Amino acid sequence: MKALFSGLLGAGLILATPTQAKLIVTDFYIPSVMLQMCESEIAQGKAGFCTGYVIAKWEELASGEEVCVPSDVEYEDMLSAVVRRFEWGSGWMKSGDTDLQVRVALREAWPCKR
């Protein structure tokens, strides 16, 4: 009986496993691509990759006391600060590094008072 159950369980797992996994690739490191993702999330009112990325950068910077975001700030406020940075940027800032642009946007919007 155990052998039959194990066999059925194994067969079920094999059938439930996709035979071909598709990797979703995004060029998030390019500010213009990240800008589109952020704007889309704001328009839809849904969190996605951009929101997660910005929150992760905020947590990283906050842990090092590089940004001091008040408790009443919403995630959408952070996304808006990042979008403004991408839109207002020119030259290297539009084609530069997303990581740097997000860091600068958060630092400029919520600097820590020292």
| pLDDT tens readout for residues 10-49 | 444 444 445 555 556 677 878 888 889 899 999 999 999 9
Q: Is the residue at 10 inside a domain?
A: no
What is the average per-residue pLDDT within 81-95? Answer: 72
29: helix, strand or coil: coil
Task: Output the pLDDT for position 96.
Answer: 64
Enumerate helices (H) and strands (E) in the chain, giving the number of each: 6, 0
* Total count of domains within the chain: 1
Q: Is the residue at 54 inside a domain?
A: yes
Contact 106, 78 (CB under 8 A): yes
Q: Is the residue at 48 inside a domain?
A: yes
**Predicted confidence (pLDDT) at residue 4 exceeds the cutoff of 50:** no
Question: 52 falls in which pLDDT band (50, 70, 90)?
Answer: very high
Question: 51 falls in which pLDDT band (50, 70, 90)?
Answer: very high
pTM (predicted TM-score): 0.71
Contact 113, 68 (CB under 8 A): yes
Name every residue whose Cβ is closer than 8 Å to that of residue 61 and which is 6 or more positions away in sequence.
67, 103, 106, 107
- Residue 39, token pair as written in the block: 């704007």
Average pLDDT, the chain: 79
Residues spanned by the domain of 98? 21-109
Task: Output the pLDDT for position 31.
Answer: 83
